[in-house]
């Protein structure tokens, strides 16, 4: 990995995820909190109109608009599709980006704690996970590396390197101090890591650590008409990153009956009952445990 010269810290990609938006305001007034000597850093409020309207998005989810062919498709012109093109021009363009590293700040209504989502498992990212966990033992590292960074449609995929900081539980349109503090801490550790990487002064890191790798997304139970007929089982609610075994109850139907998970691996649910996932009737994501060796 070469040196990282240019970093963007992005908040408000979803307009009702308040922590990043409030941190941006703080950092814009106190730039020294995010500046480091070995790189330049800018802040970007990604979806100001959605924040004004106190919504996740106005027309479509901004964090699903960064597919490289869709960025090039000028017929895609709704508000978020337009914002995506502007942000891609500002920080990218994807494939040949002028920015080296994006930190995209998100909240979830799920009980995920301070989670660091990484889109690839190269040495730089694996070491970053180790560094952040060494400074913040409650941090959880999740790899969503089932596709290449460029194939992802997330905002942070504009740059070859980037992270999603995902902190919860926090209801939409609320500021919780514990969640804000976690987000500020995790962002600081990530910026420190980049600086230590750049200056070749990384401390010794543990040789391995426990992380998770995304496997699949589960839908809420539906009938033939696509209507929701059940909910996340109370034993699973709030149990993000707790083990789920085949045969464990996972959904309760509104008629009182239960559905069990029938999988062939030890699963670790996360994004459990995330409010924003209801748009697509999604119930949760599943992961496997992964031991990362560095």
- Give the annotated binding-site residues: 14, 17, 106
Handedness of CA 190, 4, 21, 238 (dihedral sign): negative
> Which CB, 173 or 260, lies closer to a second copy?
173
Q: Which of 129, 276, 141, 158 is nearest to 217 (CA)?
A: 276
Single residue of 174, 196, 205, 282 touching a second copy by CB under 8 A? 174
> Which CB, 92 or 169, lies closer to a second copy?
169
166 in active site: yes
Q: Which stretch binds a second copy (CB under 8 A): 20-28, 68-76, 133-141, 206-214?
A: 20-28
Q: CB atoms < 10 A from the CB of 155, how many?
A: 28
Cα 118–24–76 angle (5° rounding)? 65
Name the minimum Å distance from CB 180 to a second copy.
7
Binding pattern for the stretch 210-249 against a second copy, x by CB under 8 A and - elsewhere = ---------------------xxxx--x------------
Does 181 sit near a second copy (CB under 8 A)? yes
Catalytic site residue from 80, 144, 166, 274 = 166
Does 31 sit near a second copy (CB under 8 A)? no
User: Measured between alpha carbons, how far is 293 from 210 in angstroms, rounded to an integer?
Assistant: 9
User: Measured between alpha carbons, how far is 85 from 226 in angstroms, rounded to an integer?
Assistant: 33
Binding pattern for the stretch 57-76 against a second copy, x by CB under 8 A and - elsewhere = --------------------
> Could you give phi then psi for residue 135, rounded to 5 degrees?
-90, -20
Q: Which of 61, 7, 79, 68 is nearest to 37 (CA)?
A: 7
> Which CB, 132 or 250, lies closer to a second copy?
250
User: Measured between alpha carbons, how far is 244 from 266 in angstroms, rounded to an integer?
Assistant: 6
Mind telling me the catalytic residues? 166
């Amino acid at each position: 990995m070469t040196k990282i010269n240019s970093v963007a810290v992005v908040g408000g990609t979803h307009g009702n995820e308040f922590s990043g938006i409030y941190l941006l305001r703080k950092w814009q007034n106190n730039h020294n909190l995010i500046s480091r000597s070995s790189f330049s850093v800018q802040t970007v409020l990604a979806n100001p109109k959605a924040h004004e309207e106190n919504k996740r998005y106005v027309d479509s989810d901004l964090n699903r608009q960064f597919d490289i062919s869709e960025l090039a498709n000028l017929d895609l012109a709704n508000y978020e599709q337009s914002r995506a093109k502007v942000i891609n021009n500002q920080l990218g363009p994807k494939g040949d980006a002028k920015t080296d590293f994006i930190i995209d700040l998100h909240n979830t209504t799920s009980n995920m704690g301070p989670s660091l989502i990484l889109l690839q498992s190269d040495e730089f990212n694996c070491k970053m996970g180790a560094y952040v966990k060494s400074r913040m033992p409650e941090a959880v590292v999740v790899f969503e590396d089932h596709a290449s960074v460029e194939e992802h449609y997330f905002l942070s995929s504009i740059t070859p390197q980037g992270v999603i900081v995902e902190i919860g539980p926090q209801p939409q349109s609320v500021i919780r101090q514990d969640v804000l503090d976690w987000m500020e801490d995790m962002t600081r550790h990530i910026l420190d890591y980049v600086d230590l990487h750049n200056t070749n002064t990384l401390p010794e890191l543990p040789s391995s650590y426990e992380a998770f790798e995304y496997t699949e997304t589960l839908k809420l139970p539906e009938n033939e008409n696509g209507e929701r007929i059940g909910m996340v089982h109370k034993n699973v609610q709030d149990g993000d990153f707790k083990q789920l075994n085949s045969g464990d109850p996972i959904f309760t139907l509104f008629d009182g009956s239960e559905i069990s998970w029938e999988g062939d691996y030890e699963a670790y649910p996360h994004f459990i009952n995330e409010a924003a996932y209801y748009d697509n009737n999604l119930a949760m994501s599943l992961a496997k445990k992964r031991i990362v060796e560095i």
